[in-house]
Amino acid sequence: MSGLDATDLAILRILAADATKSAAEVGRAVGIGQPAAWRRIRRLGDQGILAGRRVVVNSAALGFGVTVFLGVRLAAKGRTSLEDFERAVTAIPEVQTVQHVLGQFDYRLRITARDISDFERILRRRIMTLPGVGQVEANVMLSEERRPGPLGTLA
Amino acid sequence: MPDATDRRILRQLLADPDAATAALAARAGVTPASLWRRLDKLRETGVIAAIQLRIDWRALGWEVEVSLRFTLDKTDPRAFDEFIAAAREVPEVTEIQTFLGSVDLRLSVIARDMAHWQQVYRDRILTLPHVSDSEALMLVSTIKDSAELAL
Least Cα distance to A103 among B139, B94, B132 occurs for B139
Q: Give B121's DSSP letter.
A: I
Asked if residue A153 has pLDDT above 80, the reply is no
- Look at residue A15 in the predicted model and tell me its pLDDT: 95
Question: How many structural domains are present in chain A?
Answer: 2
What does the alpha-carbon distance between residue B29 and residue B8 come to, in Å, rounded to a whole number? Answer: 8
> If you write DSSP's letter for every residue of A77-103 in order, what string do you get?
-SHHHHHHHHHHHHT-TTEEEEEEEES
- Establish if B130 belongs to a structural domain: yes
- Establish if B15 belongs to a structural domain: yes
> Nearest residue on chain B to A99, judged by CA atoms?
B142
Question: How many structural domains are present in chain B?
Answer: 2
- Look at residue B8 in the predicted model and tell me its pLDDT: 95
Asked if residue A152 has pLDDT above 80, the reply is no
Q: Of all helices (H) and strands (E), which one includes residue B118?
A: helix B114-120
Identify whether residues A67 and A136 lie together within a single domain: yes
Mean pLDDT of A36-60: 95
> Nearest residue on chain B to A101, judged by CA atoms?
B139
Cβ-based neighbours of A142, under 8 Å, separated by 6 or more = B97, B98, B99, B100
- Work out the mean pLDDT of chain B and round it to a whole number: 95
Chains A and B form CB pairs within 8 A to the count of: 201
- Establish if A149 belongs to a structural domain: no
- Establish if B100 belongs to a structural domain: yes
Closest Cβ–Cβ partner in A15, A57, A62 for B53: A15
Burial of A2 (0-12, 13-18, 19+ CB in 10 A): exposed
Identify whether residues A77 and A134 lie together within a single domain: yes
- Look at residue A2 in the predicted model and tell me its pLDDT: 61
- Establish if B50 belongs to a structural domain: no
Test B48 with A58 for CB contact under 8 angstroms: yes
Q: Of all helices (H) and strands (E), which one includes residue B10?
A: helix B4-15
Test A142 with B99 for CB contact under 8 angstroms: yes
Look up the domain containing B133 and give its range: 64-138
Identify whether residues B36 and B71 lie together within a single domain: no
Asked if residue B6 has pLDDT above 60, the reply is yes
Test A55 with B14 for CB contact under 8 angstroms: yes
- Establish if A22 belongs to a structural domain: yes
Burial of A136 (0-12, 13-18, 19+ CB in 10 A): middle
B 57-96 near A (Cβ less than 8 A): 57, 59-62, 67, 84, 88, 91-96
Cβ-based neighbours of A36, under 8 Å, separated by 6 or more = A27
Q: Each residue of A92-149: pLDDT tens digit?
A: 999 999 999 999 999 999 999 999 999 999 999 999 999 999 999 999 999 999 998 9
What does the alpha-carbon distance between residue B103 and residue B9 come to, in Å, rounded to a whole number? Answer: 36
Contact with chain B for residue A46, Cβ under 8 A: no
A 102-141 near B (Cβ less than 8 A): 102-105, 108, 112, 137-141
Identify whether residues A33 and A98 lie together within a single domain: no
Identify whether residues A71 and A109 lie together within a single domain: yes
Q: What is the CATH number of the domain that holds B32?
A: 1.10.10
What does the alpha-carbon distance between residue A6 and residue A12 come to, in Å, rounded to a whole number? Answer: 10
Identify whether residues B68 and B40 lie together within a single domain: no
Exposure string over B66-102, b if 16+ CB within 10 A, otherwise e? bbbbbebeeeeeebbeebbeebeebbbbbbbbbbeee
Look up the domain containing A91 and give its range: 62-140
Test B60 with A103 for CB contact under 8 angstroms: no
Considering the entire predicted model, what is its pTM? 0.91
- Establish if A76 belongs to a structural domain: yes
Asked if residue A155 has pLDDT above 60, the reply is no
Q: Each residue of A133-142: pLDDT tens digit?
A: 999 999 999 9
Identify whether residues A66 and A48 lie together within a single domain: no
Tell me the shortest Cα–Cα distance from A21 to chain B, in angstroms: 10
